[in-house]
Amino acid sequence: MDQPSEKNIMKMRNFVEKFAAKSGTYLHPDRTVTDVVVEGLARHIEEVGKPLCPCNFYPDKQAEAKLRRWICACDEMQAYKYCHCLLFVREDGLSMTEYLPDDHECRQIYGL
Ligand code: SF4
C-alpha cells in the first residue's frame, strides 16, 4: 500500500486535533491508533479526493465518497460522538457510546 504524502497526513492530523477539541472528545491514548487512522484518511484523500473513513469496506469508494456519510467526521460522529475507528474517544480511551440510540448495533457489540 502506498504511503500517503506528508502534506495529507499533516492536513488530517491537524483536522483530528481540532475536531477532538471542538467535539469534546480525545485522541486515543495509544498514539499508534491515531497514526494508523490518520494515515488511512490521508490515503483516501489521495484515492478519492476526500477523507473517507478507513475502517469500513466500500464496494465503490468513489460512489461512497459522494454520499458523504462516511467522510470524517462522519454522520455517526456528528450525531452521537461515536467513532468506531477509535480516532475520537473518551478521556479514558474508551469508545464514546453514551449518546448512541438504544437500537444502534454497537450497543450490542459493547454489551450495553
Ligand atoms: Fe472519522 Fe467517523 Fe471513521 Fe471515526 S468512524 S475515523 S469519525 S469517519
Query: Amino acid identity, residue 93?
Result: G
Q: How far is the CA of 74 from the centre of ligand 1 (A)?
A: 5
Q: Over 80: is that where the pLDDT of 108 sits?
A: no
Name the pTM for this structure: 0.93
pLDDT digits (tens, 9 = 90+) for 15-61: 999 999 999 999 999 999 999 999 999 999 999 999 999 999 999 99
Task: Provide, rounded to the nearest whole percent, the portion of the chain with pLDDT above 70.
Answer: 97
Q: Over 90: is that where the pLDDT of 83 sits?
A: yes
If one compares 98 and 9, the residue with the highest pLDDT of the two is: 9
Beta strands in 1-112 (DSSP E): 26-27, 88-89
Which residue's CA is the closest to the ligand 1 atom numbered 2?
Answer: 74
Q: How far is the CA of 39 from the centre of ligand 1 (A)?
A: 13
Q: Over 90: is that where the pLDDT of 111 sits?
A: no
Q: Over 80: is that where the pLDDT of 112 sits?
A: no
